Chain A
Amino acid sequence: MKRPITVMAVLAAVAALGACGGSDEPSGGGGTGTTDPAQVKGAVRVIMEEVPDTDVVKELLPGFRKAYPGVEVKIEALPYDQMRDRIVSSFLAAKPTYDMIIVDNPWMVDFVEGGFLDPLDDRIKAAKDYAFEDFSEPLRKIAQVDGKTYGVPFYNYGLALVYRKDLYEKAGLSAPQTLDDLKAAAAKLTSDGRSGIAMQPQKGYKIFEEWGNYLFAAGGSIQDDEGKVTLDSPEARTALKEYIAIYKASAPKNSLNWAFDEAIRAASSDKAAQLLSYNWTLPTLNKEGELKDSFAVAEVPGGKAVLGAWYWSIPANSATKDAAWSFIEWLTSQAQEKQRVIAGGAPVRDSVLDDPEVWEQGYGEEYYKTVKEILADAAPLAHGRNAEEMINVVGEELNAAVAGQKSVDDAISAAATRAEETLAK
């Protein structure tokens, strides 16, 4: 006689076991596989963020199709949070959703330790005329974990001072070299309808990304060479005091929650005279409208900028690793990088930054020279385990100080303690 309960229970148990994901063993140097354009075949599902650089890559796809007729690349673009959640789900699933991903620099060490990324050293070595050292050094360092490389730089988002050169000229100002210069310039350019500077004090990543430049300008640092947190310093306190002072004097009213979108909007609608933002926002701001070509970039005061970057990586559970690598190799080769940058992508290779053709067909010599200087002396906010969480807890304390909920002293020491705790978890 049939026992429905037993049958159901067995079915339930089987379904439950099937839902558990498997994990892959990462191989040593990654292997090389085939890279012959005639032989490589496969469909590569890529996930990217909804940013201008993704559009540039999409424009280059037809060229890749011609070079590698056997490989089909499908790009899915999503906002940041959704993208991260999807990537993590794909790592854990039995069958991966993506064969190629982009990795934000804070995630690098965590993803590697989880065994989610394939090391790329063998593939890089086997690539012909690739010139991997041509990639800017700080960028290469970020993708190296335990001596192995897990990502190829895609685009950088180093911070710069993006300012209205027409307003600066009228006021007789030159690019600020110190925090005091910045404070004075912002104060001078504050008028009735326009704030001196648009700031991004949003709790978490954004405020730390902006304030980090202030910290570097004041001579402070976030971590030392061994990774120990060095935030609890008089320089950090000075930097935070200056940040709050400039916010109170020259930032738009009620902009405590402002992040990237709000600040760019303010600058592009003539409501703010300058902002600290990614160097690649310059072409977008200068493109069209009343303020066409009114903006310029300079290094942040002090010259050392906060660096962020995205990397191309191959998940360990990718279904078409060779095809994915063929796309990465093609897109990041010197020739294609040049095309990508001319089309508006943020540069990562030194040779491209020095190329007069790029200057001519891109955004002008001054812009690329400045970007090269920015990249030469830039550092990420955090490197190591739990980097993303560490950035968020520090950002929370900084925002509390700007909101007036905590004193500068309390905020800095709390930030340093919590950062140290987080990195040790």
Chain B
Amino acid sequence: MSRRIPIGYRFLAPLLALLALLVAYPLGYSLWLSLTNRTITRQEIAFVGLDQYSGLLSNAGYGVAMRNTLIFVVCAVGIELALGLLIALALQRQRWARDVTRAFLLTPMFVTPIAVGLMFRFLLNQQLGAIPQVLDTAGVTIDFFGPTLALATIVAIDVWQWTPFMVLLLLAGLESLPRQPFEAAKVDGASMWMTFRRITLPLLRPVIAIAVVLRALDAFKIFEYVFATTRGGPGTATETIQYQIYRTAFQFFRLGEAAAMGFVLVGVVLTLVVVLHRLLMRQEAAT
């Protein structure tokens, strides 16, 4: 008697095949690449096992890039969360011109990141930019892409573009909160800060968790702003993982090493996401 595949799986089959082709095959090929020494400009290729991965341990540049990326993610997502929460709270209480304000505030999110990068490159350009000119009239000169400020400038660009994303998620969360706790708190005479700390934040925790995880995942892939402005400089101040992978693979042609870099990044991100999620969800269960 032939074993029949349950009808459910047969419905899933086309999607699974598509996923296999679009996701599993490239991932698998990437994994295989990371175990070889494949270089675009060499015709020989050899299986080298975990050499590419162990090579990364002694690759100082990789460590610097990872450090820069982590600093960037923590700072950018942190600022976006704080700012986003502030703006969302303000928008929630707004009574007039709500739609126009929201549309206006959300526009940065809809611009292509590379366009945003180029925009800021020229806005902050010492020779041509509007912002240095304005600062000049006040007698202030800031070297936005200098060694001390370059990473901060990249963080600022990210904050400019993606705070609206946080605002969107947090606003949706705020508007879906139940009214009773807030009414009760008002009746009991709680101050605004107390309401915020004891009621809003705990109730909002799952939304914050999702927003932070989503934003952090995206922030790890930071590339466009670096490519458009500093190209990883000055020195290695703004060298990020994604940019380094691009350079290793397409400027230096070393595909095997770039694939290994990519997979280590996947490992780091997965770990962080799981840790973050557990942390935020555990706190919610505790309250």
Residues of B within 8 A of A15 (CB): 21
Interface residues of A in 369-425 (CB under 8 A from B): 386, 388-389, 392, 396, 399-400, 402-406, 425
Residue of chain A at shortest CB distance from B29: A16
B147 within 8 A of partner (CB): yes
Which of B10, B21, B230 makes the CB contact (< 8 A) with A12? B21
Across-interface contacts of B42 in A (CB, < 8 A): 113-114
Instruction: Indicate if A167 sits at the interface (CB-CB under 8 A).
Output: no
Q: Which of A114, A257, A386 contacts B234 (CB 8 A)?
A: A257
Q: Note all chain A residues with C-beta closer than 8 A to B231.
A: 202-204
In contact, B43 and A115 (Cβ under 8 angstroms): yes
Q: Which of B20, B128, B145, B235 contacts A400 (CB 8 A)?
A: B235
Kindly state whether residue A61 has any CB partner on chain B within 8 Å. Answer: no
The answer to whether residues A8 and B13 also contact, given A88-B40, A88-B253, A389-B252 and a CB cut-off of 8 A, is: yes
- Of A151-159, A211-219, A248-256, the one contacting chain B is A248-256
Task: Given A5-B17, A403-B147, answer yes or no on A114-B233 (Cβ-Cβ < 8 Å).
Answer: no
Interface string of A93-119 (1 = CB under 8 A from B): 000000000000000001101111000
Q: Which of B42, B147, B233 counts the most chain A CB atoms within 10 A?
A: B233
- Say yes or no: A257 contacts B251, CB within 8 Å: no
Chain B 87-131 near chain A by CB (<8 Å), digits 1 or 0 = 000000000000000000000000000000000000001111000
Q: Residues of B contacting A114 with CB < 8 Å?
A: 40-43, 253
Q: CA–CA, A367 to B238, complex, Å?
A: 41
A21–B147 Cα gap in the complex (Å)? 43
Q: Is the CB of B232 within 8 A of A203?
A: yes
A262 at the interface (CB under 8 A from B): yes
Is B145 within 8 A of A257, CB to CB?
Answer: yes
Interface pair B143/A256, CB less than 8 Å apart: yes
Q: Which of A113, A400, A405 contacts B41 (CB 8 A)?
A: A113
Give the size category of B's interface with A.
35 or more
B147–A16 contact, CB under 8 A?
A: no
A123 interface residue, CB < 8 Å from B? Answer: no
Q: Which of B13, B40, B145, B254 contacts A4 (CB 8 A)?
A: B13
B10–A4 contact, CB under 8 A? yes
Q: In the complex the two chains form, what is the Cα distance from A382 to B233 in whole Å?
A: 22
CA of A265 to CA of B128, assembled, Å: 10
Tell me, yes or no, whether B5 is within 8 Å of chain A by CB: yes
Instruction: State A375–B252 Cα separation when bound (angstroms).
Output: 28
A11 in the interface (beta carbon within 8 A): yes
| Min CB–CB distance A96 → chain B (angstroms) | 15
* Given A114-B42, A400-B234, CB of A254 within 8 Å of CB of B13: no
Partner of B250, one of A88, A111, A253: A88
Q: Which residues of B contact A12 (CB under 8 A)?
A: 17, 20-21, 25
The answer to whether B143 and A254 touch across the interface, beta carbons within 8 angstroms, is yes
B14 touches A254 (CB 8 A): no
Enumerate chain B residues within 8 angstroms of A160, measured Cβ to Cβ. none
- Which one, A92, A252, A386, contacts B126 given CB within 8 A? A252
A85 at the interface (CB under 8 A from B): yes
A297-319 contacts to B (CB < 8 Å): none
- When distances are taken between beta carbons in the complex, the residues of chain A under 8 Å from B232 are 203-204
If A114-B40, A114-B43 touch, whether A399 touches B235 (CB-CB below 8 Å) is yes
- B230→A257 contact, CB < 8 A: yes
Query: B283 on the interface (CB 8 Å rule)?
Result: no
Closest Cβ of chain B: how far from A344's Cβ, in Å? 26
Question: A203 to B14, Cβ gap below 8 A?
Answer: no
Is the CB of B49 closer than 8 A to any CB of chain A? no
**Please, how many angstroms separate the alpha-carbon atoms of A238 and B211 in the complex?**
53
B17 & A85 in contact (Cβ 8 Å cutoff): no
- A12-30 toward B: CB 8 Å interface, digit per residue (1/0)? 1001100000010000000
Interface positions of B from 42 to 59, Cβ below 8 Å from A: 42-43
| Interface residue ranges of A231-264 to B (CB < 8 Å) | 252-257, 262
A254 and B126 contact, Cβ closer than 8 Å, known pairs A202-B233, A203-B233, A203-B235 = yes
B261 CB → nearest A CB, Å: 15
Task: Give bound CA distance, A183 to B256, whole Å.
Answer: 46
Interface residues of B in 159-192 (CB under 8 A from A): none
A271 x B127 contact (CB < 8 A): yes
From 120 to 153 in chain B, residues with beta carbon under 8 angstroms from any chain A beta carbon are 125-128, 141, 143, 145-147
Contact B25 A8 (CB under 8 A): no
Instruction: Provide the residues of chain A in CB contact with B13, threshold 8 Å.
Output: 4-5, 8
- In the complex, whether B236 has a CB less than 8 A from a CB of chain A is yes
| In the assembled complex, A266 has its CB within 8 A of some CB on chain B | yes
* Interface contact A266-B21, CB-CB below 8 Å: no
For residues 261 through 298 of chain A, which have their beta carbon under 8 Å from a beta carbon of chain B? 262, 265-266, 269, 271
State whether B236 touches A256 (Cβ < 8 A): no
- How far, in whole Å, are A203 and B243 apart by their CA atoms in the complex? 14
A84 touches B (CB below 8 Å): yes
Contacts of B10 in A (CB 8 A): 4-5
A396-B236, A402-B234 known, 11 other contacts, Cβ within 8 Å:
A88-B250, A92-B40, A114-B41, A115-B43, A203-B233, A254-B146, A256-B145, A266-B127, A269-B127, A392-B247, A405-B235
6 closest A-B pairs by CB: A203-B233, A8-B17, A114-B41, A400-B235, A254-B143, A110-B41
Residues of A in contact with B (beta carbons under 8 Å apart)? 4-5, 8-9, 11-12, 15-16, 23, 84-85, 88, 91-92, 110-111, 113-116, 202-204, 252-257, 262, 265-266, 269, 271, 386, 388-389, 392, 396, 399-400, 402-406, 425
- Enumerate 10 A-B pairs (CB-CB under 8 Å) in ascending A order: A5-B5, A5-B17, A11-B17, A12-B20, A88-B253, A203-B231, A256-B143, A271-B127, A392-B251, A399-B234
